[in-house]
Structure 1
Amino acid sequence: MPVRPFPLSADFLDRARVAALLKPRKVRMRLTLLYGALFIVSGVVLLTITYLLVAGTTTSGLVLIDGFRAPTDSDRPPQISRYIGEDSPDTLGRRPGAVDEQAQALREQALHTHQEMIDNLMFNAVIALAITTLISIWLGWVVAGRVLRPLRSMTTTIQRITARNVHERLAVEGPSDELKDLADTVDGLLGRLETAIDSHKRFVANAAHELRTPLTMEHALLEESLIDRDPTVDTFRMNFERLLTISKQQGRLLEALFFLSTSERGLDRPEPVDLADLAEEAVCALRPAADKRGLRLDTRIAPAPLEGDPVLVGRLVANLLDNALSYNVQDGHVDLTVGTRDGSAFITAANTGQRVPDDEVDRLFHPFQRLNRSADDGHHGLGLSIVRSIVDAHGAELTAHAGADGGLVVDIVFPERYQLVGTPAKMAGNSP
């Protein structure tokens, strides 16, 4: 059954237009209406107070007409003063009731004059209020425009900024007020956005380069097998082994990228973790590699409770150890310390190796950065960058500096969020 559109009557459209007019979308119009409404309310209150003050008063003073005094209070009967003497008005032969009639007439005339004065005052006041209301609305429109002018300028500049010119800033000058604070906040946000965009561009370029190199080698090996006119089983086996090695390297790269993106997303549901358990697992997994290379792996592991993601924290420990073992020297050593410091879990990894310049330490924690870049060393420069990303996700503090005898010393302190109770101490003896 087809659905017919609801008919819109002219009356409905008129009401919609009126509603749209009653709810203006422009901030300048809203401010103008607000200024005008406040002025009208204050003017009405002022007129009301003036009317009450004027209406509560009556004619006062003595009005001597033919020896009589006019009334001084509208709520009291008129007072009559009679003079007795030789020249008393009674000697003129007036009748007694004439005095009351004249007093009443004077009283009514005074009240009528008083009411006309109030009516004229209120009429003129209403006219003055209407004129000043129009003036106040116009002044409100002008003042609102001047107040909102910096906002319009900032809006225009922000709308013009894109990913290509994110380096531009508002650079608002003037006194330190709310608008200046807003502009400085937007400039700070643009600065962080520019840094993030540049980092993203470098990351994409480096990732593309890291992936393109093994793909090129795979293509060359496959092409070599196809163009070989006299292939043998040994040549095929050798090419397949090299292809398998390249595939494993690509798998490690994709896994590293996955952990990097996961850690940058933050923590979903932190849970209690003992850093000592994860450190022991990483040591057991990497000790054979250390023994194979003739490296000494010294460990001092004590309970270190924290709250975080067990998978990410385990990857952090594994990357620290793998980096310390991979970038080392013959007959070198790696020192791994895990425990608590002032109630906070910490891990420290120090190794011997090539001397690292002080100005190069921070660069090593960025993606695809290595001290001596080499494409065939089986590493992609993502280990320490993943460590830093996991540290940021857990709100931990990372400090690193070059070792006195070469190598790198990395110290990570986790925030004090969780305290395990009744965990037995674990100490691993130093390995030879």
Structure 2
Amino acid sequence: MPDTASERRPLVRWSARLRLTLLYGLLFLISGAVLLGFTYILVARSPVSKQTKVTATQDVTGDPSTSNGGEIIPDIEHLVSQQHEAELQALLTESGIALGVMTAVSVALGWLMAGRVLRPVSMMADKARRISERNLHERLAVSGSADELKDLGDTFDGLLARLDAAFDVQKRFVANASHELRTPLTLQRAMIEVELSAPAPDVQSLRAVCERVLAAGESQERLIEALLTLASSERGLQRREPLDLCEVTADVVRERCPDTPANGLRIETALGPAHTYGDAGLVERLATNLIENALRYTHPGGWIRVATGMDTGRPALYVANSGPQIPPDRIPVLFQPFQRLESRVGSPDGHGLGLSIVAAIATAHDARITAVPGREGGLTVTVAFPHQHGHQPGHGHGH
């Protein structure tokens, strides 16, 4: 069966240089022909070219010495008209030859100028053809005056820079995910091998090993679930529906925050109406991750504040906690995958994906994130969503 792509491919490849050259030549030919036509019309209608009569007088008696009057001699205006038509025909022929010669010259000059104009495009194409995922750090670096071609080169360099950064993030993500998934597997295998190498393992020791293996498996399940959530958030939203941040956050607080924390933790809530559009499941995951992150990093006897309401005209979720001091330059890093704060005080089952999932979900909802260090330590995070009646696309997250 023939290849449809090859069937659609033209037999003759018309380069941009050839097309521009033919266009230049055609435009010159048309403009020259129009100029020649105007010149021909003006010359034909010129007063000099009007019919002329030539007259003479002679003696009516035949005696040249007596001339009593004049008589018009045979009209020669027909000869003058023929001479004028011959001159016009010569003008048309000679101008046509000159137009043909100049058209050929214009085509040659157009070929040279088109090659000169398109030379930067050819250089950019050659450089872009050599760039792959292995050398995304290279750039076109178009030099010269600031024109459309330089703007095109600079735009392509910006695209390469974004692709280079995206590839680096992807490589780090894959490496970190592989490490995080390999660690529980290595631990499980080590526990089983140690127990099997024992001379006489009893039921109790085998049961303890099985419980530890199950715990490691649950950790893997949580990691895989977090990775799937992160991937689905980065793909964007499949559907949007009206929701109230107050109701979603209240459910998360009831589920995740105990009424009487054993470590003296104080949880304060101020949940007001905050209507927006989005995926209720992902918004619930965002609130859960923010609250769990606050629980994990808050010292015993500290506090956590959770609030919903309007922030500069946008429905917002606010989560703050006391805890360790966080340098401001470390905050953007915490929203990247597999990045953890060293001074964790809560449960050790985190994988460094919580805040990166928050950032991905916020981006999918066109929400804006503001994260600043708290006055008493810890982190203060505000997620401002688009208003329910005024969707504002294009807002990313800001740290």
2:20 is matched with which residue? Answer: 31
Gaps of 5+ in 1: 6-15, 68-87, 420-432
- Deviating 4+ runs (over 6 angstroms): none
1:51 is matched with which residue? Answer: 40
Residue 163 (str. 1) matches residue 133 (str. 2): yes
Contact 1:28 1:148 survives alignment (8 Å): yes
Structure 2 counterpart of 1:178, one-letter code:
E
Contact 1:279 1:314 survives alignment (8 Å): yes
What SS does structure 1 have at the residue aligned with 2:86?
A: helix
Contact 2:56 2:71 survives alignment (8 Å): no
1:102 is matched with which residue? Answer: 74
Give the aligned CA root-mean-square deviation in angstroms. Answer: 2.6
Q: 1:331 to 1:65 in 2, by over 3 A?
A: same
2:352 is matched with which residue? Answer: 381
Q: State the shift of 1:307 in Å.
A: 1.0
Q: 1:413 to 1:42 in 2, by over 3 A?
A: same
Structure 1 Cα separation of the partners of residues 235 and 260 of structure 2 = 33
Residue 416 (str. 1) matches residue 387 (str. 2): yes
Q: State the shift of 1:316 in Å.
A: 0.4
Q: Scaled by the length of structure 1, what TM-score is found?
A: 0.82
Q: 1:292 to 1:255 in 2, by over 3 A?
A: farther
Structure 2 Cα separation of the partners of residues 335 and 325 of structure 1 = 11
What SS does structure 1 have at the residue aligned with 2:270?
A: strand
Residue 308 (str. 1) matches residue 278 (str. 2): yes
Q: State the shift of 1:100 in Å.
A: 5.7
Match of 1:174 among 144, 148, 156: 144
1:78 is matched with which residue? Answer: none
Structure 2 Cα separation of the partners of residues 115 and 234 of structure 1 = 123
Q: State the shift of 1:386 in Å.
A: 0.5
1:123 is matched with which residue? Answer: 93
Q: State the shift of 1:258 in Å.
A: 0.6
Deviation readout 1:343-364 (Å, 9 max, x if unpaired): 3101111111111122211111
Structure 1 counterpart of 2:324, one-letter code:
Q
Structure 2 counterpart of 1:369, one-letter code:
Q
Match of 1:354 among 324, 335, 344: 324
User: Equivalent residues in 2 for 1:165-314 (5 A)?
Assistant: 165-288=135-258, 291-314=261-284
2:375 is matched with which residue? Answer: 404
Q: State the shift of 1:341 in Å.
A: 2.3
Q: State the shift of 1:271 in Å.
A: 1.6
Structure 1 counterpart of 2:367, one-letter code:
A
What SS does structure 2 have at the residue aligned with 1:291?
A: coil
Structure 1 Cα separation of the partners of residues 378 and 343 of structure 2 = 16
Structure 1 Cα separation of the partners of residues 238 and 248 of structure 2 = 20
2:56 is matched with which residue? Answer: 66
Q: Scaled by the length of structure 2, what TM-score is found?
A: 0.89
Q: 1:150 to 1:385 in 2, by over 3 A?
A: same
Structure 1 counterpart of 2:56, one-letter code:
D
Contact 1:59 1:110 survives alignment (8 Å): no
Deviation readout 1:318-347 (Å, 9 max, x if unpaired): 000000001110111100010112331011
Query: What is the percent sequence identity of the aligned residues?
Result: 44
Contact 2:52 2:80 survives alignment (8 Å): no
Q: State the shift of 1:224 in Å.
A: 2.1
Contact 2:245 2:275 survives alignment (8 Å): yes
Structure 2 counterpart of 1:272, one-letter code:
P
Structure 2 counterpart of 1:359, one-letter code:
D
Structure 2 Cα separation of the partners of residues 171 and 334 of structure 1 = 51
Residue 40 (str. 1) matches residue 12 (str. 2): no
Q: State the shift of 1:315 in Å.
A: 0.6
2:366 is matched with which residue? Answer: 395
1:11 is matched with which residue? Answer: none
Deviation readout 1:21-47 (Å, 9 max, x if unpaired): 5xx521111101110110111111111
